[in-house]
């Protein structure tokens, strides 16, 4: 049962990271609003949080963040930044969009996983609410893009 508790703590941490990253992603100029929007940012943050929960379990941590957890987390952060750099190979100017979000997601997921996993009074409903809010915000704000619509229109009258 503790395996699920650790994964759940990571998923909840990913939800916090997703909420923050979704709001930060809105003013950033996405190189492709179809592939890099708030929905993909939010879902990626939930995935990273889940992985962070697995790393917490793998590190053997129960009551505190151990040196092994921080080492695993540093490796996770490097993987996240590498994925952000890979986005540049697919899309022009993707680094400007992905690097800040990758840093936010990595730091929030890692920090809040250790916080949620060590809190005995941390309840199930709080994590479920966080995940629901993160998913709803990610999907609801996915349409807020910064690219031109491609529709022809007359300029507004003077």
What is the pLDDT confidence band of residue 40, given thresholds at 50, 70 and 90? confident
pLDDT score recorded for residue 153: 58
CA 22 – CA 38 distance, rounded (Å): 5
pLDDT grade for 16, boundaries at 50, 70 and 90: very high
Q: Binning pLDDT at 50, 70 and 90, where does residue 122 land?
A: low
Asked if residue 120 has pLDDT above 70, the reply is no
pLDDT digits (tens, 9 = 90+) for 51-99: 998 898 888 877 777 888 888 889 988 988 888 888 778 777 778 888 8
Position 14 scores a pLDDT of: 93
Residue 144 has pLDDT above 60, yes or no: yes
In terms of pTM, does the model score above 0.75?
yes
Average pLDDT over all residues of the chain: 82
């Amino acid at each position: 049962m503790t395996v699920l508790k650790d994964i759940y703590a990571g998923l909840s941490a990913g939800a916090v990271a997703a909420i923050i990253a979704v709001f930060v992603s809105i003013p950033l100029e996405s190189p492709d609003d179809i592939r890099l929007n708030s929905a993909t940012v939010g879902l990626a943050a939930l995935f990273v949080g889940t992985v962070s929960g697995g790393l917490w379990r793998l590190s053997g941590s129960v009551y505190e963040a151990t040196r092994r957890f921080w080492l695993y987390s540093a490796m996770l952060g490097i993987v996240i930044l590498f994925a952000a750099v890979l986005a540049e190979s697919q899309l022009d100017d993707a680094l400007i969009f992905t690097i800040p979000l990758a840093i936010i997601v990595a730091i929030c997921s890692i920090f809040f996983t250790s916080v949620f996993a060590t809190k005995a009074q941390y309840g199930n409903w709080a994590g479920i609410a966080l995940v629901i809010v993160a998913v709803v915000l990610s999907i609801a704000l996915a349409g807020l893009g910064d690219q031109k619509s491609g529709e022809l229109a007359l300029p507004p009258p003077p």
